[in-house]
Structure 1
Amino acid sequence: MKMKKQLLLAAMAAGLSLSAFSQTKGTNALSFGVNTYTNKGRDNSSQGNNYENKTQNNFFTLGYGYFFKDNSKFELDLSYGLDKYSNNYSGQQQKSYGGNLNYQHYFPIVKTLFAYAGGRAGYTYSKIKNSNIEPYYPQASTDINNQYSIGAYGGITWFISQRFALETSLLSADFRYSKLKQTESTNQNYHSNETTNFNLNTQGFINNLGFKIYILF
Protein backbone atom coordinates (compact mmCIF):
# COMPACT_ATOMS: atom_id res chain seq x y z
CA MET A 1 0.00 0.00 0.00
CA LYS A 2 2.79 2.41 0.89
CA MET A 3 4.50 1.62 -2.41
CA LYS A 4 1.28 2.38 -4.34
CA LYS A 5 0.92 5.74 -2.59
CA GLN A 6 4.50 6.63 -3.45
CA LEU A 7 3.96 5.71 -7.08
CA LEU A 8 0.74 7.75 -7.19
CA LEU A 9 2.47 10.80 -5.71
CA ALA A 10 5.34 10.42 -8.15
CA ALA A 11 2.91 10.26 -11.09
CA MET A 12 1.08 13.38 -9.88
CA ALA A 13 4.35 15.24 -9.48
CA ALA A 14 5.42 14.20 -12.97
CA GLY A 15 2.12 15.41 -14.39
CA LEU A 16 2.48 18.77 -12.70
CA SER A 17 6.04 19.13 -13.91
CA LEU A 18 4.95 18.39 -17.49
CA SER A 19 2.22 21.03 -17.38
CA ALA A 20 4.59 23.53 -15.83
CA PHE A 21 7.19 22.83 -18.50
CA SER A 22 4.84 24.27 -21.13
CA GLN A 23 5.09 27.80 -19.71
CA THR A 24 8.67 27.87 -18.40
CA LYS A 25 11.49 30.13 -19.53
CA GLY A 26 13.28 28.89 -22.65
CA THR A 27 10.32 26.99 -24.17
CA ASN A 28 9.73 27.42 -27.91
CA ALA A 29 6.26 27.34 -29.47
CA LEU A 30 5.30 26.80 -33.11
CA SER A 31 1.68 27.68 -33.83
CA PHE A 32 -0.86 27.13 -36.59
CA GLY A 33 -4.23 28.86 -36.59
CA VAL A 34 -7.30 28.54 -38.77
CA ASN A 35 -10.67 30.27 -39.00
CA THR A 36 -13.03 29.19 -41.81
CA TYR A 37 -16.65 29.98 -42.67
CA THR A 38 -18.86 28.98 -45.62
CA ASN A 39 -22.46 29.93 -46.31
CA LYS A 40 -24.73 29.28 -49.31
CA GLY A 41 -28.14 30.81 -49.89
CA ARG A 42 -30.89 30.42 -52.48
CA ASP A 43 -34.12 32.31 -53.12
CA ASN A 44 -36.62 30.87 -55.60
CA SER A 45 -39.44 33.33 -54.84
CA SER A 46 -38.15 36.32 -56.82
CA GLN A 47 -40.29 36.34 -60.00
CA GLY A 48 -39.36 32.76 -60.74
CA ASN A 49 -35.61 33.50 -60.80
CA ASN A 50 -33.15 31.31 -58.94
CA TYR A 51 -31.12 33.82 -56.93
CA GLU A 52 -28.05 32.28 -55.33
CA ASN A 53 -25.25 33.68 -53.20
CA LYS A 54 -22.18 32.14 -51.63
CA THR A 55 -19.76 33.41 -48.96
CA GLN A 56 -16.41 31.83 -48.10
CA ASN A 57 -13.99 33.19 -45.48
CA ASN A 58 -10.63 31.55 -44.76
CA PHE A 59 -7.92 32.87 -42.46
CA PHE A 60 -4.67 31.09 -41.55
CA THR A 61 -1.75 31.98 -39.29
CA LEU A 62 1.70 30.50 -38.76
CA GLY A 63 3.81 31.67 -35.84
CA TYR A 64 6.85 31.20 -33.67
CA GLY A 65 6.91 32.10 -29.97
CA TYR A 66 9.49 32.07 -27.21
CA PHE A 67 8.93 32.08 -23.43
CA PHE A 68 11.51 34.64 -22.31
CA LYS A 69 10.41 34.03 -18.71
CA ASP A 70 7.91 31.79 -16.92
CA ASN A 71 4.34 32.36 -18.19
CA SER A 72 5.42 35.21 -20.52
CA LYS A 73 5.94 34.88 -24.26
CA PHE A 74 6.85 36.91 -27.34
CA GLU A 75 5.48 35.66 -30.66
CA LEU A 76 5.69 36.54 -34.35
CA ASP A 77 2.63 35.58 -36.44
CA LEU A 78 2.34 35.55 -40.23
CA SER A 79 -1.15 35.45 -41.71
CA TYR A 80 -2.97 34.80 -44.98
CA GLY A 81 -6.65 35.35 -45.70
CA LEU A 82 -8.89 34.59 -48.66
CA ASP A 83 -12.50 35.83 -48.68
CA LYS A 84 -14.95 35.31 -51.55
CA TYR A 85 -18.52 36.42 -52.16
CA SER A 86 -20.60 35.83 -55.28
CA ASN A 87 -24.20 35.97 -56.46
CA ASN A 88 -25.98 35.95 -59.82
CA TYR A 89 -24.84 39.48 -60.69
CA SER A 90 -21.63 40.31 -58.85
CA GLY A 91 -18.59 38.91 -57.13
CA GLN A 92 -15.84 39.93 -54.75
CA GLN A 93 -12.49 38.37 -53.83
CA GLN A 94 -10.14 39.61 -51.13
CA LYS A 95 -6.62 38.35 -50.46
CA SER A 96 -4.72 39.57 -47.42
CA TYR A 97 -1.17 39.08 -46.13
CA GLY A 98 0.08 40.29 -42.76
CA GLY A 99 2.11 39.87 -39.63
CA ASN A 100 1.79 40.57 -35.90
CA LEU A 101 4.29 40.90 -33.08
CA ASN A 102 2.55 39.66 -29.91
CA TYR A 103 3.18 39.62 -26.18
CA GLN A 104 1.19 37.24 -23.95
CA HIS A 105 1.17 36.59 -20.21
CA TYR A 106 -0.54 33.46 -18.87
CA PHE A 107 -2.59 33.19 -15.67
CA PRO A 108 -3.42 29.73 -14.22
CA ILE A 109 -7.11 28.90 -13.82
CA VAL A 110 -7.17 25.20 -12.98
CA LYS A 111 -4.59 22.49 -13.70
CA THR A 112 -3.56 22.88 -17.37
CA LEU A 113 -6.15 25.54 -18.23
CA PHE A 114 -4.84 29.12 -18.43
CA ALA A 115 -6.21 32.54 -19.24
CA TYR A 116 -3.96 34.98 -21.07
CA ALA A 117 -3.80 38.71 -21.80
CA GLY A 118 -1.44 40.60 -24.02
CA GLY A 119 -0.73 43.24 -26.63
CA ARG A 120 0.11 43.19 -30.32
CA ALA A 121 1.23 45.39 -33.21
CA GLY A 122 0.62 44.40 -36.80
CA TYR A 123 0.53 45.19 -40.51
CA THR A 124 -1.84 43.81 -43.20
CA TYR A 125 -1.81 44.23 -46.98
CA SER A 126 -5.10 43.49 -48.76
CA LYS A 127 -6.16 43.39 -52.40
CA ILE A 128 -9.88 43.37 -53.16
CA LYS A 129 -11.35 42.72 -56.61
CA ASN A 130 -15.01 43.57 -57.28
CA SER A 131 -16.97 42.70 -60.42
CA ASN A 132 -20.49 43.44 -61.61
CA ILE A 133 -21.75 41.45 -64.58
CA GLU A 134 -25.14 43.12 -65.10
CA PRO A 135 -25.55 43.48 -68.90
CA TYR A 136 -26.45 47.18 -68.89
CA TYR A 137 -23.83 48.39 -66.41
CA PRO A 138 -20.77 46.14 -66.24
CA GLN A 139 -18.28 47.40 -63.68
CA ALA A 140 -15.02 46.32 -62.08
CA SER A 141 -12.86 47.78 -59.33
CA THR A 142 -9.70 46.96 -57.42
CA ASP A 143 -8.93 48.15 -53.87
CA ILE A 144 -5.44 48.10 -52.35
CA ASN A 145 -5.42 48.56 -48.56
CA ASN A 146 -2.43 48.98 -46.22
CA GLN A 147 -3.44 48.70 -42.56
CA TYR A 148 -1.44 49.23 -39.37
CA SER A 149 -2.80 48.27 -35.95
CA ILE A 150 -1.92 48.18 -32.28
CA GLY A 151 -4.10 46.77 -29.51
CA ALA A 152 -4.80 44.37 -26.67
CA TYR A 153 -6.43 40.96 -26.55
CA GLY A 154 -7.11 37.98 -24.30
CA GLY A 155 -8.39 34.43 -24.27
CA ILE A 156 -8.01 30.87 -23.01
CA THR A 157 -5.21 28.32 -23.52
CA TRP A 158 -5.35 24.61 -22.72
CA PHE A 159 -1.92 22.97 -22.38
CA ILE A 160 -3.03 19.50 -23.41
CA SER A 161 0.36 17.86 -22.84
CA GLN A 162 4.05 18.60 -22.66
CA ARG A 163 4.14 19.09 -26.42
CA PHE A 164 0.74 20.44 -27.44
CA ALA A 165 -1.56 23.34 -26.54
CA LEU A 166 -4.86 24.66 -27.89
CA GLU A 167 -5.68 28.38 -27.73
CA THR A 168 -8.58 30.68 -28.60
CA SER A 169 -8.94 34.46 -28.56
CA LEU A 170 -12.12 35.75 -26.90
CA LEU A 171 -11.71 39.53 -26.45
CA SER A 172 -9.78 42.15 -28.38
CA ALA A 173 -9.56 45.89 -29.01
CA ASP A 174 -7.45 47.42 -31.78
CA PHE A 175 -6.61 50.95 -32.89
CA ARG A 176 -6.15 50.90 -36.67
CA TYR A 177 -4.82 53.20 -39.37
CA SER A 178 -5.43 52.28 -42.99
CA LYS A 179 -4.73 53.76 -46.41
CA LEU A 180 -6.97 52.63 -49.26
CA LYS A 181 -6.37 53.09 -52.97
CA GLN A 182 -9.29 52.30 -55.30
CA THR A 183 -9.35 52.02 -59.08
CA GLU A 184 -12.65 51.61 -60.89
CA SER A 185 -13.62 51.05 -64.52
CA THR A 186 -17.01 51.05 -66.25
CA ASN A 187 -18.21 51.33 -69.84
CA GLN A 188 -17.88 55.10 -69.59
CA ASN A 189 -14.82 55.93 -67.49
CA TYR A 190 -11.91 54.98 -65.25
CA HIS A 191 -10.86 56.69 -62.01
CA SER A 192 -8.62 56.23 -58.97
CA ASN A 193 -8.68 57.68 -55.45
CA GLU A 194 -6.98 57.28 -52.05
CA THR A 195 -8.47 57.49 -48.54
CA THR A 196 -7.05 57.20 -45.02
CA ASN A 197 -8.90 56.03 -41.94
CA PHE A 198 -8.43 55.82 -38.15
CA ASN A 199 -10.73 53.60 -36.09
CA LEU A 200 -11.04 51.61 -32.88
CA ASN A 201 -12.27 48.06 -33.39
CA THR A 202 -13.49 45.82 -30.57
CA GLN A 203 -14.64 42.21 -30.53
CA GLY A 204 -16.94 40.99 -27.80
CA PHE A 205 -16.96 37.68 -25.97
CA ILE A 206 -16.60 34.69 -28.33
CA ASN A 207 -16.81 36.84 -31.48
CA ASN A 208 -15.15 35.47 -34.64
CA LEU A 209 -13.98 32.46 -32.67
CA GLY A 210 -10.86 30.79 -34.07
CA PHE A 211 -8.25 28.39 -32.72
CA LYS A 212 -4.48 28.05 -32.63
CA ILE A 213 -2.61 24.78 -32.17
CA TYR A 214 0.83 24.99 -30.51
CA ILE A 215 3.71 22.56 -30.75
CA LEU A 216 6.01 23.11 -27.73
CA PHE A 217 9.67 22.15 -27.49
Structure 2
Amino acid sequence: MKNKILTAIAVMASLCGYAQTKGTSAVGFGINSQTSKYHYKDASGADKTDENKINSYSLGYGFFIKDNAKLGVDLNYGRNENSYEANVSGTKTETYGFGVNYQYYYPLIKKLYAYAGGNVSYSHSSAENGSTNAEDYKGNMYSAGVQGGITWFVSKRFALETSLLSAAATYSKTERTSGSATVAQGYKYSYTNFNLSSTGSLNNLGFKIYLLF
Protein backbone atom coordinates (compact mmCIF):
# COMPACT_ATOMS: atom_id res chain seq x y z
CA MET A 1 0.00 0.00 0.00
CA LYS A 2 2.83 2.37 0.88
CA ASN A 3 4.49 1.75 -2.50
CA LYS A 4 1.21 2.47 -4.31
CA ILE A 5 0.85 5.80 -2.49
CA LEU A 6 4.41 6.81 -3.32
CA THR A 7 3.88 5.84 -6.96
CA ALA A 8 0.70 7.95 -7.13
CA ILE A 9 2.53 10.95 -5.71
CA ALA A 10 5.35 10.49 -8.20
CA VAL A 11 2.90 10.42 -11.13
CA MET A 12 1.13 13.55 -9.86
CA ALA A 13 4.46 15.30 -9.37
CA SER A 14 5.62 14.82 -12.97
CA LEU A 15 2.65 16.32 -14.83
CA CYS A 16 3.78 19.74 -16.10
CA GLY A 17 5.09 23.21 -15.25
CA TYR A 18 8.24 24.18 -13.38
CA ALA A 19 8.84 24.40 -9.70
CA GLN A 20 10.00 27.78 -8.43
CA THR A 21 9.03 30.19 -11.22
CA LYS A 22 6.82 33.27 -10.81
CA GLY A 23 3.12 32.39 -10.60
CA THR A 24 3.63 28.87 -9.21
CA SER A 25 1.52 27.82 -6.22
CA ALA A 26 2.76 25.43 -3.54
CA VAL A 27 0.65 23.42 -1.10
CA GLY A 28 2.72 22.02 1.75
CA PHE A 29 1.86 19.56 4.47
CA GLY A 30 3.69 17.81 7.26
CA ILE A 31 2.98 15.23 9.93
CA ASN A 32 5.14 14.42 12.93
CA SER A 33 4.20 11.56 15.27
CA GLN A 34 6.27 10.24 18.17
CA THR A 35 5.53 7.78 20.96
CA SER A 36 7.88 6.94 23.81
CA LYS A 37 7.44 4.66 26.81
CA TYR A 38 9.31 4.52 30.11
CA HIS A 39 9.01 1.40 32.26
CA TYR A 40 9.83 1.51 35.98
CA LYS A 41 8.85 0.19 39.41
CA ASP A 42 7.10 2.39 41.96
CA ALA A 43 7.82 2.52 45.70
CA SER A 44 5.74 -0.61 46.28
CA GLY A 45 7.60 -2.56 43.60
CA ALA A 46 4.72 -2.57 41.11
CA ASP A 47 5.51 -2.24 37.41
CA LYS A 48 4.55 1.14 35.95
CA THR A 49 4.71 2.66 32.47
CA ASP A 50 4.81 6.32 31.48
CA GLU A 51 3.81 6.96 27.87
CA ASN A 52 4.37 10.18 25.97
CA LYS A 53 2.61 10.83 22.64
CA ILE A 54 3.46 13.81 20.43
CA ASN A 55 1.54 14.54 17.24
CA SER A 56 1.77 17.68 15.13
CA TYR A 57 0.29 18.64 11.78
CA SER A 58 0.89 21.56 9.44
CA LEU A 59 -0.80 22.77 6.27
CA GLY A 60 0.49 25.66 4.21
CA TYR A 61 0.00 27.55 0.97
CA GLY A 62 2.67 29.53 -0.83
CA PHE A 63 2.83 31.60 -4.00
CA PHE A 64 5.98 32.46 -5.95
CA ILE A 65 5.65 36.23 -6.33
CA LYS A 66 8.74 36.15 -8.56
CA ASP A 67 11.25 33.53 -9.63
CA ASN A 68 12.73 31.80 -6.54
CA ALA A 69 10.78 34.01 -4.09
CA LYS A 70 7.81 32.51 -2.20
CA LEU A 71 5.30 34.19 0.13
CA GLY A 72 3.24 31.78 2.23
CA VAL A 73 0.88 31.12 5.12
CA ASP A 74 0.81 28.13 7.49
CA LEU A 75 -1.74 26.55 9.84
CA ASN A 76 -0.47 24.33 12.67
CA TYR A 77 -1.97 21.98 15.25
CA GLY A 78 -0.19 19.93 17.90
CA ARG A 79 -1.21 17.55 20.68
CA ASN A 80 1.00 16.13 23.42
CA GLU A 81 -0.18 13.53 25.95
CA ASN A 82 2.07 12.41 28.79
CA SER A 83 0.45 9.42 30.55
CA TYR A 84 -2.76 11.43 30.65
CA GLU A 85 -5.79 10.06 32.51
CA ALA A 86 -8.62 12.47 33.32
CA ASN A 87 -8.95 13.30 37.05
CA VAL A 88 -6.02 10.99 37.87
CA SER A 89 -2.59 11.94 36.49
CA GLY A 90 -0.51 13.03 33.52
CA THR A 91 -0.84 16.06 31.25
CA LYS A 92 -2.47 16.86 27.92
CA THR A 93 -1.43 19.86 25.81
CA GLU A 94 -3.00 21.23 22.63
CA THR A 95 -1.57 24.00 20.44
CA TYR A 96 -3.15 25.91 17.55
CA GLY A 97 -1.34 28.47 15.44
CA PHE A 98 -0.80 30.23 12.13
CA GLY A 99 2.01 32.14 10.50
CA VAL A 100 3.14 34.15 7.48
CA ASN A 101 6.53 33.53 5.87
CA TYR A 102 8.80 34.62 3.04
CA GLN A 103 11.55 32.45 1.53
CA TYR A 104 14.10 33.06 -1.20
CA TYR A 105 15.74 30.09 -2.94
CA TYR A 106 19.37 29.96 -4.06
CA PRO A 107 20.42 27.27 -6.58
CA LEU A 108 23.15 24.88 -5.43
CA ILE A 109 23.35 21.78 -7.62
CA LYS A 110 20.72 20.98 -10.25
CA LYS A 111 17.43 20.58 -8.33
CA LEU A 112 18.95 21.24 -4.91
CA TYR A 113 18.42 24.73 -3.47
CA ALA A 114 19.30 26.54 -0.26
CA TYR A 115 16.74 28.95 1.12
CA ALA A 116 16.66 31.82 3.60
CA GLY A 117 13.72 33.84 4.83
CA GLY A 118 11.68 35.30 7.64
CA ASN A 119 8.41 34.58 9.40
CA VAL A 120 5.91 35.91 11.92
CA SER A 121 3.53 33.62 13.80
CA TYR A 122 0.94 33.31 16.56
CA SER A 123 -0.01 30.27 18.63
CA HIS A 124 -2.39 29.44 21.47
CA SER A 125 -1.67 26.59 23.88
CA SER A 126 -3.66 24.99 26.67
CA ALA A 127 -2.50 22.28 29.05
CA GLU A 128 -4.70 20.17 31.27
CA ASN A 129 -3.32 18.21 34.20
CA GLY A 130 -4.98 14.90 34.99
CA SER A 131 -4.76 15.58 38.72
CA THR A 132 -7.37 18.07 39.94
CA ASN A 133 -4.86 19.50 42.45
CA ALA A 134 -2.13 20.26 39.89
CA GLU A 135 -1.62 23.24 37.59
CA ASP A 136 -3.39 23.81 34.29
CA TYR A 137 -2.37 26.61 31.96
CA LYS A 138 -3.24 28.44 28.77
CA GLY A 139 -1.17 30.94 26.88
CA ASN A 140 -0.55 32.94 23.73
CA MET A 141 2.77 33.34 21.95
CA TYR A 142 3.86 35.77 19.24
CA SER A 143 7.05 35.18 17.30
CA ALA A 144 9.17 36.83 14.59
CA GLY A 145 12.21 35.07 13.20
CA VAL A 146 14.48 34.06 10.37
CA GLN A 147 15.26 30.59 9.09
CA GLY A 148 17.33 28.75 6.51
CA GLY A 149 17.49 25.28 5.06
CA ILE A 150 17.59 23.03 2.02
CA THR A 151 14.91 22.29 -0.59
CA TRP A 152 15.02 19.49 -3.15
CA PHE A 153 12.72 20.12 -6.11
CA VAL A 154 12.35 16.43 -6.92
CA SER A 155 10.29 17.12 -10.06
CA LYS A 156 8.10 19.79 -11.64
CA ARG A 157 5.30 19.09 -9.16
CA PHE A 158 7.00 17.72 -6.04
CA ALA A 159 9.50 19.12 -3.50
CA LEU A 160 10.97 18.18 -0.11
CA GLU A 161 12.19 20.82 2.33
CA THR A 162 13.94 20.87 5.69
CA SER A 163 14.86 23.70 8.05
CA LEU A 164 18.44 23.59 9.35
CA LEU A 165 18.94 26.87 11.24
CA SER A 166 16.62 29.43 12.81
CA ALA A 167 16.59 32.42 15.14
CA ALA A 168 13.52 34.03 16.69
CA ALA A 169 12.24 36.61 19.12
CA THR A 170 9.14 35.48 21.03
CA TYR A 171 6.70 37.15 23.37
CA SER A 172 4.32 35.04 25.42
CA LYS A 173 1.66 35.52 28.06
CA THR A 174 0.61 32.56 30.18
CA GLU A 175 -2.09 32.05 32.78
CA ARG A 176 -1.75 29.21 35.27
CA THR A 177 -4.45 27.78 37.50
CA SER A 178 -3.90 25.43 40.42
CA GLY A 179 -6.56 23.25 41.98
CA SER A 180 -10.22 23.82 41.26
CA ALA A 181 -11.84 27.25 41.10
CA THR A 182 -14.53 25.94 43.46
CA VAL A 183 -12.16 25.07 46.29
CA ALA A 184 -10.23 27.33 48.64
CA GLN A 185 -6.75 26.11 47.71
CA GLY A 186 -7.18 26.97 44.03
CA TYR A 187 -5.28 29.99 42.68
CA LYS A 188 -4.67 31.74 39.39
CA TYR A 189 -1.85 33.95 38.14
CA SER A 190 -0.42 35.16 34.84
CA TYR A 191 3.01 36.19 33.60
CA THR A 192 4.69 37.40 30.41
CA ASN A 193 7.99 36.44 28.85
CA PHE A 194 10.24 37.78 26.08
CA ASN A 195 12.91 35.54 24.63
CA LEU A 196 15.61 35.60 21.94
CA SER A 197 16.85 32.25 20.68
CA SER A 198 18.73 30.55 17.87
CA THR A 199 18.71 26.86 17.02
CA GLY A 200 20.37 24.32 14.77
CA SER A 201 18.43 21.23 13.77
CA LEU A 202 21.05 19.05 12.14
CA ASN A 203 20.40 16.30 14.69
CA ASN A 204 16.60 16.54 14.53
CA LEU A 205 15.55 17.10 10.92
CA GLY A 206 11.93 17.77 10.12
CA PHE A 207 10.63 17.68 6.56
CA LYS A 208 7.85 19.37 4.62
CA ILE A 209 6.33 17.99 1.44
CA TYR A 210 5.20 20.40 -1.30
CA LEU A 211 2.88 19.81 -4.24
CA LEU A 212 3.45 22.51 -6.87
CA PHE A 213 1.02 23.68 -9.54
> Normalized against structure 2, the TM-score is what?
0.84
Match of 1:3 in 2: none
Structure 2 residue 188 is the aligned partner of structure 1 residue 192: yes
Structure 2 residue 77 is the aligned partner of structure 1 residue 83: no
Q: Distance in 1 between matches of 2:130 and 2:42?
A: 25
**Residue 166 of structure 1, aligned match among 160, 183, 207:** 160
**Residue 62 of structure 2, aligned match among 59, 62, 65:** 65
Match of 1:107 in 2: 106
**Residue 204 of structure 1, aligned match among 191, 200, 204:** 200
1:205 Cα deviation after fit: 3.3
Q: Distance in 2 between matches of 1:20 and 1:70?
A: 13
Over the residues paired in the alignment, what is the CA RMSD in angstroms?
2.2
Q: Distance in 1 between matches of 2:53 and 2:169?
A: 26
Contact 2:145 2:169 in 1 (8 A): yes
1:47 Cα deviation after fit: 4.7
Contact 1:152 1:174 in 2 (8 A): yes
Contact 2:16 2:157 in 1 (8 A): no
1:175 Cα deviation after fit: 0.5
Q: Distance in 2 between matches of 1:38 and 1:56?
A: 5
Contact 2:28 2:59 in 1 (8 A): yes
1:136-194 CA distances to partner (integer Å, 9 max, x unpaired)? xx514321110000001111111111111111111111110000011111675111111
Q: After the TM superposition, which residues 142-153 of structure 1 pair with which residues of structure 2 at under 5 Å, given as runs?
A: 142-153=136-147
* 4+ aligned runs moved over 3 Å, structure 1: 44-47
Q: Residue type matched to 2:128 in 1?
A: K
Q: Distance in 1 between matches of 2:171 and 2:17?
A: 39
Q: Distance in 2 between matches of 1:87 and 1:124?
A: 22
Q: Distance in 2 between matches of 1:146 and 1:156?
A: 30
Give the length in aligned residue pairs.
195
Greater gyration radius? 1
> Normalized against structure 1, the TM-score is what?
0.83
* 47-56 or 69-78, larger mean C-alpha shift: 47-56
Q: Which structure 2 segments of 5+ residues have no match?
A: 1-14
Contact 1:35 1:209 in 2 (8 A): no
Percentage of pairs with the same residue: 46
